[in-house]
Amino acid sequence: MDENLDIRHKHISRQFNIELQNIHSRVLEMGGLVQKQLADALHALTDSDSVLAEKVINNDEVINGIESSIDDSCVQILARRQPAAGDLRMVIAVVKTITDLERIGDEAKRVARMASNKADQIYRLQAPIVTGVQHLGKQAQEMLQRSLDAFARMDVETAVKVARDDDKVDIEYSGLIRQLITYMIEDPRSIPAALDIMWAARALERIGDRSRNICEYVVYFVKGKDIRHVNLDKVREEIGLTDPDSQKLPQTNP
């Protein structure tokens, strides 16, 4: 009888692991689609491609559907398996991650909407402005890519490094906003297009924030530590990471 119970327990445990691996894989698939949405939105904005912009806008419903499906799976796991410790943290990390991925998809849609509405006007802005948007977009893309890599491997060290890089995106965003304000003062006719660029830049800055969030969930799953309101220098010290070339790390956003 004891042997039969042990076999049954191992079978349930194996099935549970398969379920966890499945939702992990589906999160990465969702992440890949969100990355494609962001790349297409940036191309639409900087290349004045309203057709591609409309495609991004229409595809947002696909991202929303995937989030709902994964969320339902997580609810079922919580109800049927009643996970604890690391398994529970895994499910929580997944739920939080897909929420941020869905919102990154929303931000990509906002960028695309700017391109769809006033693509020609935006493209006529001064070259440094367009270049600034492209550079900010590239940084946001890199943060998203690296945060998903950290999630795929549950790599704490990479996660902390990517979280730190959000400060670079914030600096780039602030510089672009200053450029846009100066441009609008010098040429009031540019105000409508410049405001659209501001909204697009804000969306890209938020993508950096959301990518940072995903990294924080990785640390939470692996180390069981909530680092959302903790200085990253202290986090590195507590979890034993070394980075001799790093500067003072910024605090996490609330």
Instruction: Return all residues near 107 (Cβ < 8 A) that are at least 6 apart.
Output: 38, 203, 204, 206, 207, 210
Residue 225: inside a domain, yes or no?
A: yes
Residues spanned by the domain of 188: 2-238
Q: Is residue 20 part of a domain?
A: yes
- The span from the CA of 46 to the CA of 204, in Å, is 13
- CB atoms < 10 A from the CB of 28, how many? 13
pLDDT in tens, 85-104: 889 999 999 999 999 999 99
Predicted confidence at residue 1, as pLDDT, reads 45
192 pLDDT band (50/70/90 cuts)?
Answer: confident
* pLDDT on residue 55: 95
Q: Measured between alpha carbons, how far is residue 127 from residues 113, 120, 131, 189, 228 in Å?
A: 21, 14, 6, 16, 37
Do the domain assignments include residue 248?
Answer: no
Q: What are phi and psi of 251, to 5 degrees?
A: -75, 155
Answer yes or no: is pLDDT of 171 > 90.
yes
- pLDDT at residue number 158: 93
What radius of gyration do the chain's Cα atoms show? 21
Q: What is the pLDDT of residue 46?
A: 80
Inform me whether the pLDDT recorded for 175 exceeds 60.
Answer: yes
User: 148, 31 in Cβ contact below 8 A?
Assistant: yes
Dihedral of CA atoms 89, 93, 94, 96 in degrees, nearest 10, equals: 140
Average pLDDT, the chain: 84
The answer to whether position 243 is within a domain reads no
Q: What angle do CA 68, 72, 76 make, to 5 degrees?
A: 170
Highest mean pLDDT among 50-64, 128-142, 229-243: 50-64
Six-digit token string for 199: 């909204």
Tens digits of per-residue pLDDT, 39-82? 999 998 888 788 999 999 999 999 999 999 999 999 999 998 88
| Range list of H helices, the chain | 2-46, 50-81, 85-123, 127-153, 156-186, 191-223, 232-238
CATH number of the CATH domain containing 111? 1.20.58.220
Span 145-161, mean pLDDT?
A: 94
> Angle at Cα 59 formed by Cα 26 and Cα 217, nearest 5°?
40
Let me know if residue 228 belongs to a domain.
yes
CA distances from 7 to 3, 12, 20 (A): 6, 9, 20
Q: Is residue 246 part of a domain?
A: no
Residue 5 binned pLDDT confidence (cut-offs 50, 70, 90): very low
Q: Specify the pLDDT at position 204.
A: 96
Q: What is the DSSP letter of 48?
A: T
The 10s digit of each residue's pLDDT in 245-254 is 443 333 434 3
Predicted confidence at residue 49, as pLDDT, reads 86
Query: Is 245 part of any domain?
Result: no
> Cβ-count burial of 253 within 10 angstroms (0-12 exposed, 13-18 middle, 19+ buried)?
middle
The reported pLDDT for the residue numbered 236 is: 64
User: Which residues are within 8 A (CB) of 177 and not within 5 positions of it... i.e. 6 or more apart?
Assistant: 198, 201
pLDDT at residue number 252 = 37
Domain count, the chain: 1
Q: Which two tokens stand for residue 239?
A: 């979890």
**Residue 75 Cα to chain centre, angstroms:** 22
User: Quick one: pLDDT band at residue 231, thresholds 50, 70, 90?
Assistant: low
Query: 23 or 6: which carries more pLDDT confidence?
Result: 23
